[in-house]
Chain A
Amino acid sequence: MDFPQNMSMEEAFAQAEAEAKLNQALSESKARFENAVLPNRLNEDWRFGRPHKYATALAELLRSDKPSQGEAKVEHAGEAAVPVSADDDDLRRTEMLMPTIGSDALLGMHLERFGSGYALYIEEDTKKPIRIEYTTTGLFTSSTFIMVAPGVTAEVVEIHRGEGDTACMFATRNIQVAEGAKLKILHHSAHMERYMCITNIQNMGGQVVQLTRHDTHDWAREETVAEIYAPESDIQLYSSNLPRNGVLDLHTKQIHHAGGATSNLLYKNVVYEGATAIFAGNIFVAPGAHHTDAYQSNRNMLLSEKATVHSLPGLEILADKVRCSHGSASSGVDEQQLFYLLSRGIPREEAIGLLAYGFEKDVIEKYERA
């Protein structure tokens, strides 16, 4: 091993150890992709998610020689944005190491197509929200990386949009937030026949507030793994959706590796006739991560007897001194509220729209206030 001149023995050993760890993680990660099988009925993380239909269809597209078709744009980023390229080993490694919720095989296929998107190295407060927009008419795989430097306050808007009837997008997003940094991210996806997004948040003592909204997809799956690595970290995950048809499949993990930190999740769906919404969330508190405050809530409003909701909140706590709670509530439209609106002459469809908007509103307000 070569020791650089300006490095002490101790530092050199630490660096060597870090490199060894990284190499091991990478080789394990490689094995994970090699051994991964496509999501199937036996995969608990795809429960109710019809993997034989949707995961298989996405895999077929990713394996095909269909070229990536789409556009990536970034605005208000100044010097912070760099287009990602397949040659960037650091970013590639980051994506290789990102956790999924039952979709390693699909992530492996995404890696094979690595190469579209932006990396944001945010080292100054953003004056206007940085806006990233990916648009596709066919198949598009995107990778976004957001790194926020210590003490920096940033806001990012990420839009994923399909055009035409057969748009398919598979996006990944890796977020790293340093100590004292604050990131607000608004993520909106719309109009896709197939849509999947895997997000990994690594919080080293800052704050991350994320709001996701997925509109008018035939099938959409979100996997968000939010990890806390340092005390004083705060993660707030919000989602507000109004699926009108198809399947909306939402999966989250709030992982507290370190104690003395907080995470909060509120996912709300208004589910129209013929649509299915799935929420599966888990709070994991690692051994020794004491003084963790973690909450998780999924609420659904069903607008028809033909609307379907599956809600699977979960907790896994391996530390003693924690405050955690999780909950789920699903119901139809409140008949008394609806009657009140109708009794003032508001037509039924509009009244239901107002109630649905009202139901979702507090999620959006929580994001705006954060």
Chain B
Amino acid sequence: MEEIQYIGEHLLPGQIGRLAILISFVTSILATVSYFLATQRRDTDEYEGWRRIARSAFVLHGISIFVVIGTIFYVMIQQYFEYYYAYSHVSEDLPFKYIASAFWEGQEGSFLLWMFWHIILGFILMRTAKEWEAPVMAVLSTIQLFISSMIQGLHIGFGDWVYKLGSNPLLLLRDTMDIPIFANADYLSLVTGTGLNPLLQNYWMTIHPPTLFLGFASTAIPFCYAIAGLWTGQHKAWLKPVLPWALFSGGILGTGILMGGAWAYEALSFGGYWAWDPVENMSLVPWLFLLAGIHTNLIAKITGHSIKSSYLFYLLTFVFIVYSTFLTRSGVLGDTSVHAFTEMGLENQLLVFLLFFVFLSIGSYLWGSRDVPVPEREEATGSKEFWMFIGSLVFLFSAALITISSSLPVYNKIVELFDPTYEGSVIKDPVEHYNKYQLWIGIFIGLFSGLSQYLRFRESNFSKHGKKFLLHLGIATVISGVLTFLASIWIDARAWQYKLLLFSGIFTVITNLDYLISFTRANLKTAASSVSHIGFGLMIVGILASGLNKKWISNNEFAQQGLIKGFSQEQYKKNVVLIKGEPLFMNGYEVTYVKDSIWENYRQFQVNYKQKDEAGNITEEFDLYPNVLYERKENKIAAVNPSTQHYWDRDIFTHIATLPLSETDKEYAKTLEDSLNYVTHYMNVGDTLRQKDYILILEEMKEGATHKDYDSQPNDLSYGARFVVYPKKINARFEVQPVMALRKTLLYTFSESIPKLGMKIKFPNEALDELFVPESELGYESFTMEKGQTVDYQDYKIRFDNFNVEAEHSAYEREPGDVVVGAEMTIFDQQGVEVGKAAPLYLIRGNQPFNFKDELFDLGLHFRFVKINPNSEEVEILIGRKSAEKRRVPIAIANDVPRSDWIVLEAILFPGINFVWTGTIMMMVGLFMGMFARRGRRE
């Protein structure tokens, strides 16, 4: 086949990028091997040499990954759609601020983001890890080796068997698709990008993935230290340097997860922050393991107990990060998750990635933990460490339960392999299922973390401090009990389990607060733990308040009565129809859909909320602005964005559940418009038209009219007919102004409607000849007049009254240097009765004379002011008229029009949601405080 010479392709960035991808893979192998050898020969002379090679390899690896990222960004910013990645993630109309989001929308981009953070962390380790550098970096390089294999796109073949290793982000579009368009050498001029999913076009998509991936990447460091500890047999020495890393990772990963929840709550229409979706769960599980690890790490550092548990928890943390990657990216979750990623054929490779680290962990643990020192003396039940350890076990349980339930699809897949007839099983009510178990986890964590704060490290003689302990504990219990009682008046916690959870949340807040004040004495390390645990308690209170008291405001009983008889699931009915301008009372709020406005493909709705006291005075009022994003060309909704009113103690969340079909489907809207029965009436200014339900008066014909859908341009000609409408049955008055506009040869008609009356009004096409009369048909006659003079024109007498230098005209915009003058004229009929006034305009701009005509629409009279004699003050006026007959404007009116001025709204009240945010943020702050406290203590 003949090679086609394609036009306009930019091949250089691709070549550079693909080379860098390959280099990154090779250097990661080199770094792994040399760090491995450096570790193995750490006590010999070779150590320095191997470390130097390893360092260079890793730095080179880092640079090549940066180059890959740079090239991808370059082709995306330049919109080189010859590259598949640019084609499938960018489009011409994608705002620049979303380029980064588009980059990590794709699987390859998110792998690169993950590697980017590993490299940054790796560089830090090279500078700070000292004797731990070689083993730790050996493991980190191995991880990089696996991830960089995901972006290789290499075809490895043995005979007929070909395996594709990874997916290369810098492939050309024509190499990934086989379609006829590539027979055209100039195919690029026909191709444009598909762009970023509109749902992802918001700032959360810019900040959430980098944070979460830094969280993912940071869990690798405790893992690397754990392997390093097992490998080198220094079971105690690693406990200290790993701790700040683990705390940092806990804080960042937690923040990433938290941002995901906040995104779901703020910007998506899920109506909540956590849904126990498998993807969410599997990001939480590693975090729970990490928290367990941090606790056992602290114990191990102080007492020498729990070293094995610390190894285990840190190993599990990273293994579960990889497991979660496998679940979300392999497509195995299928229809059980709303976050389902598309399959990319990387399943096997991801499985190898997972299995390698599972076996590495098991192997290292079994091999390395044989000689872990175990102290002779057992931990006393009255010591802090004992209860911290029990707390870690609670974390383990929590993580294990979530993992087992979330992994059900994996279990189904495995059984299906052996038994194809096997029908997969599912959890019936996931939210209820998870809540049921995690409730107890919450209770235990709350109680233990409250209780153990009063205990002391390494306590052997409990009775010595028993009195003080019991005193504080007793007071805290009483205060918590009272507060729980008060809170349960506010929170609808009927079941005793909820009351217990509420108590344990409040209990840990009180005890930790007490501990913070009475015992910490400005010690950052201990304060950090108090802050975290107070945060946990507040979060529990918030979860209970917002979860149990979550209430649908949009639940209008009157509107829904008796629609489904005898059905007990009324609470699932969450939406109401709101008609524009008609307030609806629902659950204490008067809600009104005020108006909507469209800006390009973005449509915003204003929804007003009012609360009134018994006297009818407004006690509270606010507006919310939920919006929808239409797809670029089609008139389809691509994304719905909620809007939320925040108070310190509650949130009111609102989003558009549905719009009328005519507003979301252009085809349907057109069919609907065609089915309307328009009747044409001929009217002049001042005429009245009687219809079945209303009376219509044509008040005025306006030149240069405006309309909400009409963007006027300088040389447009336009007319609007201003009507006043009086309904017969109700006491109201409406004004409508349909518009017809002429832009060169294009004619636009803008209709108006009164949904309440079911009427729609517009200019029919035949109005064109009547509105825009060509100048040639007017038969202008010239009159030279002086001030006060009257002339006869057809049936009228026309008097030139005066000059006006401040005259205005709808088509005239004043510029500096203009010399402008208007001629004020009065028109009388034969009986001498005044019938109108006109003011044509004469203008000199840059030595050129211009004039703007004036038209008396109802009489059909046109005036032009064409000349002025400055000496005699005489003017020349042209007067024209199309015909002597009375003017009649055609107007088309349709009645019985289906209403389309409504929205379907979902409104939810979330009480106490700020406790959730404050609590979770405090947990992260506590972790970071712990990290900083320990970072400074490193020798």
Note whether A and B form a binding pair: no
- Chain A residues proximal to chain B, CB less than 8 Å: none
